[in-house]
Chain A
Amino acid sequence: MALLELHEVGKAYGGLPAVDGVSLGTGGGEILALVGPNGAGKSTLLKLVVGLERPNRGRVILDGHDITGRPPHLVRRMGVAMVQQTPRSFPTMTVRENVALGALFGRDTPPDTDEALEIADEALAFVGLDDRRHDTVGALNLHQLRFLELARAIAGSPRLLLLDEVMAGLNDAELETSIDIVRAIRDRHDITVVWVEHVMKAVMGLAERVVVLDFGRILAEGSPDQVMRDPAVVEAYLGKEDLGA
């Protein structure tokens, strides 16, 4: 059942462990939130899964295949998409072309250009950006850029979607829409979502299971309510992080 399994995954930079032996599994269309103070190793963990960083130890298993240290483009074609906090869109292309790239290169069996553009239109309609498809990327605001990247990710028909703080810096209304869209992506495409988030309001509203990381290790795990009442979690956060941020 587990689509993604991490076994004792670790990554150190210059002797300092960023991720220090994390084991967890997810799958079956679950929405799993990874939370924790700054520097807890959340973003690094996602990078280890997609191959942007290579773990020093441990194994990453996707659907039974060992993908530890595999380069990102191969991991992408195996069905893992990632959206980062900093938008990584291509400025000289239109919104539609950007999303079409996800379909052209992210799939195991690539469609032709016309099909890719159709897939792009569908994905853009899904995130509510279809009226902006002929604009260049520069015309979009941060919130729209994040939606563009979500559209590009789903255009590659992933099985697993990794989101790295994609709700940071959004206002309340934008946050609500983002939460709805992530849930809709999961419901419609049955995509498992692993999601790093600082915005606790979003975590409480969207996550089905929460894993709390601190100093690269798993501190607590459970339902959002359960985890937020855990004394160890409260201690890790107090003075370091504003829970309501």
Chain B
Amino acid sequence: MTASILDGIVLGLQFGVLAAGLTLVYGLGGVLNLAYGQIAVVSGLVTLLTMEAGVPAVPAALIGLVAGGALGLIFDLTILQPVYRRHGEARVLLSLLLTLGAAFVIDGYLNWRYPLRGLNLRITGDPLVVFGVRMRMGSVVASGITIVVIGVLYWLFRYTRLGRAIRSVIQDEEGSRLVGIDPQLMMRLILVLSGVLAAIVAITRSMVAPVNVRAGFSLTVLGLIVTVVGGLGSIPGAFLAGLVLGIINSVASSYIGTFLSLIILLVAAAITIVIRPTGLLGVRE
């Protein structure tokens, strides 16, 4: 049991980072990015190809992060431009359609050009004993990186000038414009950040299990489930829901079976939404 819970926490932290990238973009600009998982997969693939070109793993992973951020920027500059001209529900719907289209295009291309390729950053080393449980080195390193990322995000949003600007846009866009903040610029920066977070998820995930080119949609769906449970637009909600669902997923997998874990996650999400329609930490608009 302790082992499953610990595994669940490791997974949950990654769920949280995955969902944070989605929820930030939604909270800031009312845009749901259904190509989010594909951004993660492309970043993983870039890391893989860079390593195959002879670059060591750490710089290759950094190049993967740059690729994720660049993809986010490209989305902002291209297919999201018509989305920004709409408001409210029309904006959400158009963003769903256009990013879903982009997701299919990326998915199709990857499956054709790089079939069955996957990033696998296996980390060798003796297992580490944590709370009496033997953990694989890969899990330990992945969790370490994820915790650092969460810490950096917290610092960024809590204490920096940029973080204050982003929070104010999420809370009241018109108010932020009157204070002198440019919401368009913040949206661009957040899409870059979101791409980097997707890349971090792909890279840390691949330390535990291979992330192949077909993983895009399941990553997006996982991210969406966590985001909805946590409350759309809430970053603390994303991390809380990530932990809860990570533990549920891990415990269910080891006691019932992996084949049912996605269904169990969906049931858990459905129950949360019935009890709290705004999600765990969501605020009704």
Query: Which of A77, A81, A91, A104: most chain B Cβ within 10 A?
Result: A104
Binds B, one of A61-69, A82-90, A183-191: A82-90
- Asked if B180 and A76 make an inter-chain contact with CB atoms under 8 angstroms apart, the answer reads yes
Q: Identify the closest chain B residue to A113 (Cβ).
A: B161
A-B contact count (CB 8 A): 64
For A84, the chain B residues whose CB sits under 8 A away are 178
Main secondary structure of the interface of B (DSSP, over half): helix
Chain A: interface residue count, which band? 20 to 34
A158 to B9, CA, bound (A): 50
B171 contacts A by Cβ under 8 Å: yes
- Asked if A97 and B164 make an inter-chain contact with CB atoms under 8 angstroms apart, the answer reads yes
A76 to B181, CA, bound (A): 9
- Asked if A106 and B179 make an inter-chain contact with CB atoms under 8 angstroms apart, the answer reads yes
Q: Identify the closest chain B residue to A84 (Cβ).
A: B178
Expressed in whole angstroms, the minimum distance between the Cβ of B184 and any Cβ of chain A is: 8
Chain B: interface residue count, which band? 10 to 19
A198 contacts B by Cβ under 8 Å: no
A110 to B276, CA, bound (A): 41
- Assuming A52-B174, A90-B167, A90-B172, is B182 touching A106 (CB within 8 A)? no
- Assuming A92-B167, A104-B164, is B177 touching A73 (CB within 8 A)? yes
Q: Identify the closest chain A residue to B183 (Cβ).
A: A73
For B115, the chain A residues whose CB sits under 8 A away are none
B144 contacts A by Cβ under 8 Å: no
A156 contacts B by Cβ under 8 Å: yes
- Assuming A93-B167, A104-B164, A105-B165, is B175 touching A88 (CB within 8 A)? yes
- Asked if B178 and A92 make an inter-chain contact with CB atoms under 8 angstroms apart, the answer reads no
- Assuming A71-B182, A73-B182, A156-B180, is B161 touching A104 (CB within 8 A)? yes
- Asked if B178 and A89 make an inter-chain contact with CB atoms under 8 angstroms apart, the answer reads no
For B178, the chain A residues whose CB sits under 8 A away are 50, 52, 72, 76, 81-82, 84, 88
Interface residues of B (CB under 8 A from A): 159, 161, 164-165, 167-168, 171-172, 174-182
Interface residues of A (CB under 8 A from B): 50, 52, 71-74, 76-77, 81-82, 84, 88-93, 97, 100-102, 104-107, 110, 113, 152, 156
A sample of 14 cross-chain residue pairs with beta-carbon separation below 8 angstroms, ordered by A number, consists of: A72-B177, A73-B182, A88-B172, A88-B178, A90-B167, A90-B171, A90-B176, A101-B179, A102-B179, A104-B161, A105-B179, A105-B181, A106-B179, A152-B179
